[in-house]
């Protein structure tokens, strides 16, 4: 039985796990993406991810933005936004990264990627010279997972954010 496109994409990523992503992975992803064309959001998202993983964030940003403009499904859209914000952070475009991640935080506050959004938000803040605010965001994301101490840890997290003010 022939494998689906998604299965073949997953296979490329499985082969690449644990190693540095390079030209071979990009070429394999690009070949699969070509089957779907330049106007396919998911194909462009996968192309972006390959370049991102290979340490080519500027190329990735362009492709992530293109994928988002084409419209991704509810599973891949938040992943694309998170990866876009992370790539912008890696490029030092902190204001753009923050705008992207804050919009996603508002859009999917209760979504399955909320902790990943918070993690990238915290990293952006830390990288942009606001480490206490970044720590606060990370702590607030952890609070719901704690067995107790929600009220006190929330208060401490808000308190620590003031250190960057």
Is 46 domain-assigned?
yes
Question: 77 is in which domain, residue-wise?
Answer: 5-129
Domains of the chain: total = 1
Would 155 be classed as within a structural domain? no
Residue 138, domain member (yes or no): no
CATH number at residue 16: 1.25.40.10
Query: Rounded to an integer, what distance in angstroms lies between the CA atom of residue 50 and that of residue 131?
Result: 29
**Is 164 contained in some domain?**
no
Q: What is the pLDDT of residues 42-54, one digit of tens each?
A: 999 999 999 999 9
pLDDT at 41 over 90: yes
Task: Please check whether residue 156 is in contact with residue 140, taking contact to mean a CB–CB distance below 8 angstroms.
Answer: no
**Would you state the pLDDT for residue 117?**
97
Does the residue 152 lie in any domain?
no
Does residue 137 fall inside a structural domain?
Answer: no
Q: Closest Cα partner for 32 from 14, 10, 16, 54?
A: 10
Q: Is residue 86 part of a domain?
A: yes
103-160 residue pLDDT tens: 999 999 899 999 999 999 999 999 999 999 999 999 999 999 999 999 999 999 999 9
């Amino acid at each position: 039985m022939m494998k689906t496109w998604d299965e073949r994409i997953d296979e490329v990523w499985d082969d690449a796990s644990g190693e540095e992503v390079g030209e071979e992975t990009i070429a394999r992803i690009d070949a699969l993406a070509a089957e779907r064309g330049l106007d396919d959001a998911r194909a462009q998202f996968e192309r972006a991810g390959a370049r991102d993983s290979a340490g080519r964030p500027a190329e990735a940003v362009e492709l992530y933005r293109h994928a988002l403009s084409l419209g991704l499904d509810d599973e891949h859209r938040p992943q694309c936004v998170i990866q876009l914000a992370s790539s912008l952070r890696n490029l030092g475009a902190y204001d753009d990264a923050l705008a992207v991640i804050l919009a996603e935080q508002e859009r999917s506050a209760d979504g399955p990627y909320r902790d990943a959004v918070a993690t990238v938000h915290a990293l952006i803040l830390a990288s942009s010279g606001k480490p206490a605010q970044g720590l606060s965001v990370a702590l607030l994301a952890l609070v719901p997972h704690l067995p107790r101490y929600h009220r006190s840890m929330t208060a401490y997290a808000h308190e620590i954010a003031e250190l960057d003010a």
